[in-house]
Amino acid sequence: MAEETDSSAMAEGGLAFTELASSDPAATRRFLETVFGWRFRSVQMPMGEYLAYEAPGGRGGVRPVRDREPPASLAYIRVIDIEAARRRVEAGGGSIVLPRVDVPSMGSFFWFRIPGGPILACWQDLPAEATSTEGPK
């Protein structure tokens, strides 16, 4: 993914990326490449192919929808400490809808519902030294 040059983009509470759940990831990719000039790369994940993208001012990915999941987008909020963020979410009245998931060589996330119904996610990058020493898995 693109190097971050704006330090505010790396700050706690800023948007880390947006994930698109698509019923046709290839068609979603073609549309976004053609219409907006987004750049994609394929990443193999445990659930299959993940299409990571870079767009002006943002990054994210496209993945296939899961069983009984409607196509949607999900914003991931960058946090420094994933467990502290979970505690703050719960203390503030949010509820966890997908517990912590650790993504090898990348980081960790969880999904949560906020009062009023929207679902968001928190994302914590792995420390730089962990990603540079682990190498591909």
Domain positions in the chain:
79-137
Whose CA is closest to 10, among 84, 86, 78, 82? Answer: 78
Beta sheet of 95-103, edge-to-edge order: 39-45, 48-55, 58-64, 15-22, 72-78, 119-125, 107-113, 95-103
Mean pLDDT per block of 10 residues along the chain (137 residues) reads 46 90 94 92 89 91 92 94 96 96 94 92 85 46
Give the Cα separation of 107 and 124 in Å (integer): 5
Q: pTM for this one?
A: 0.78
pLDDT of residue 56: 86
CATH class assigned to 79-137: alpha beta
pLDDT of residue 136: 42
